[in-house]
Chain A
Amino acid sequence: MSAFTDWDILRNLLLAARWTVALSLIAFAGGALVGLLLTFMQISGRVVLVQMTRLYVELFQGTPLLMQLFLVFFGISLFGIDVSPWTAAALALTLFSSAYLTEIWRGCIESIPKGQWEASRCLGLNYVEVMYHIILPQALRIAIAPTVGFSVQIVKGTALASIIGFVELTKAGTMLNNATFEPFKVFGFVALIYFLLCYPLSVASRMLERKLHASG
């Protein structure tokens, strides 16, 4: 049996971490896109759309991400469609993050004081004009910090994709541990890499929050 040096372990983990990053980016972009659509449905004021969005958000917030991954991975194959772990993970994480982002953004929009609406209405602006010129620009400022903050949850959420066999950072860690029998060292590295990915995001989120609030 060939011996793994520390560098071998770290190198393999870093290579696998590329997939963690890729999956995070896809999940964030996909989640943002779907979340944007859902947010607009939610603020449309149309009862059916609002309730559908509500149900969607409750469903994905009320079930574990792991179950969502299983359901997407095994569920789609029931229809005779072959899904790769990569596709299943990207899809499940997109659905998951879209639900949370929708909730975050709805909160930001609703936090704009009622007086802004009233002043706009008195000036004769219609719903779309109020949204576009008054509410959304202000909500966007407030939304940046919690959105960046939530991206940390997405990065950590990608670890669950290892269960359906997608080789990202955690899965690579498991495989390397099976080869080296040095769990503390291997998973120590794994944790360190996750931390190095997430910490800058947390710091950025905190800085943005301070900056946008101080000048708000």
Chain B
Amino acid sequence: MPLVNIDNVHKYYGDNHVLKGIDLRIDAGEVVSIIGRSGSGKSTLLRCINGLETYSEGGIIVDQMEVTDDDSQIRKLSKSVGMVFQHFNLFPHLTVGQNITLAPKLVRKLSAEEAAETAREVLQKVGLQDKFDSFPGELSGGQQQRVAIARSLAMRPKVLLCDEITSALDPELVGEVLKVLETLATEGMTLILVTHEMNFARDIGDRVIFMHQGKVWESGEAKAVFANPQTPELQTFINAVL
């Protein structure tokens, strides 16, 4: 049984048919990059995987749980699926430590000590153990995004969804975030990334999904897809971004 099973998913925004029958199976430990033009439906697909967006038809099963927008289901899913956003979405009124410990305490019912212990561990992993008591506003964009990754990791997810997590960063800060992702990948974390970092998708990713007009247009082993695109649409896209 794959960790993420997406079965013939359709989604409409009004009359706009944004996902046209997506089928996708992702196994534990895979690093999958979803690439494509803006408007191709890649972010929408990612947001469907943890219930942030509803879908109209088909089914999504993650870690043997059906994805619905039901409150209790979303709470259960949060223990298996983490998400990191383009704009970090850290809680600005809480310290880094509080940002990370809040959900483990409320949702996973950890004690304050256990949660703090977890927070220190995940901060260590992203190389920010000295920022426990800082506020997000005091950190650089790259550091904030690493805290956001740590916050997701503290929930012990089985899969991490990354929605263009380096797109809002200054170029010189992109590297430190990608390095964290690379570490996670080598440790066996399942990653699904919507990304414009083509080098990362090619070198670190196992598989690349090229989306076009709401469909999985082309997919395959990462290096092969870039080296040998089969469709003119992917050819054009690769020429435009590389």
**CB distance A133 to B89 under 8 Å?**
no
**CB distance A118 to B102 under 8 Å?**
no
* Chain B hits for A123, CB < 8 A: 78, 102-103, 107, 151-152, 155
**CB distance B89 to A116 under 8 Å?**
yes
**CB distance B91 to A134 under 8 Å?**
yes
**CB distance B79 to A124 under 8 Å?**
yes
**B87 at the A interface (CB under 8 A):** yes
Partner of B82, one of A121, A122, A125, A133: A122
Partner of A124, one of B52, B90, B107: B107
Closest A-B pairs by Cβ, 5 of them = A124-B78, A123-B103, A119-B89, A115-B89, A124-B107
Question: From residue B191, how far is it (CB to closest CB) to chain A in Å?
Answer: 15
**CB distance B74 to A121 under 8 Å?**
yes
Q: Which size class do A's interface residues fall under?
A: 10 to 19
**CB distance A124 to B74 under 8 Å?**
yes
**CB distance B87 to A133 under 8 Å?**
no
**CB distance B103 to A124 under 8 Å?**
yes
**B106 at the A interface (CB under 8 A):** yes
Chain A 85-100, CB within 8 Å of chain B: the 1/0 string? 0000000000000000
How many angstroms between the C-alpha atoms of A138 and B91 in the bound complex?
A: 9
Subset of 26 A-B contacts with CB under 8 Å: A115-B87, A115-B89, A116-B89, A118-B85, A119-B148, A122-B81, A122-B83, A123-B78, A123-B107, A123-B152, A123-B155, A124-B74, A124-B75, A124-B76, A124-B77, A124-B103, A124-B155, A125-B75, A125-B102, A125-B103, A125-B106, A126-B75, A134-B91, A137-B93, A138-B93, A141-B93
**A8 at the B interface (CB under 8 A):** no
Question: From residue A135, how far is it (CB to closest CB) to chain B in Å?
Answer: 10
**B58 at the A interface (CB under 8 A):** no
**CB distance A127 to B71 under 8 Å?**
yes
* Chain A hits for B220, CB < 8 A: none
* Chain A hits for B51, CB < 8 A: 121
Chain A 129-140, CB within 8 Å of chain B: the 1/0 string? 100011001100
Point out residues on B near A: beta carbons under 8 Å: 50-52, 71, 74-79, 81-83, 85, 87, 89-93, 102-103, 106-107, 148, 151-152, 155
**CB distance A126 to B71 under 8 Å?**
yes
How many angstroms between the C-alpha atoms of A81 and B192 in the bound complex?
A: 69
* Chain B hits for A129, CB < 8 A: 106
* Chain B hits for A121, CB < 8 A: 51-52, 74, 78
**CB distance A119 to B93 under 8 Å?**
no
* Chain A hits for B52, CB < 8 A: 118, 121-122
* Chain A hits for B87, CB < 8 A: 115
Using CB atoms, name the residue of chain A closest to B71: A126
* Chain A hits for B79, CB < 8 A: 124
* Chain A hits for B78, CB < 8 A: 121-124
A119-B83, A122-B50 given; 16 more Cβ-contact pairs under 8 Å: A113-B89, A115-B89, A116-B89, A118-B89, A119-B85, A121-B51, A121-B52, A121-B74, A122-B78, A123-B78, A123-B102, A123-B155, A124-B75, A124-B155, A125-B103, A129-B106
**CB distance B71 to A116 under 8 Å?**
no
How many angstroms between the C-alpha atoms of A138 and B107 in the bound complex?
A: 21
How many angstroms between the C-alpha atoms of A132 and B71 in the bound complex?
A: 17
Question: From residue B186, how far is it (CB to closest CB) to chain A in Å?
Answer: 24
How many angstroms between the C-alpha atoms of A129 and B104 in the bound complex?
A: 13
* Chain A hits for B151, CB < 8 A: 123
How many angstroms between the C-alpha atoms of A129 and B106 in the bound complex?
A: 8
* Chain B hits for A122, CB < 8 A: 50, 52, 78, 81-83, 152
* Chain B hits for A138, CB < 8 A: 91-93
Question: From residue A141, how far is it (CB to closest CB) to chain B in Å?
Answer: 7
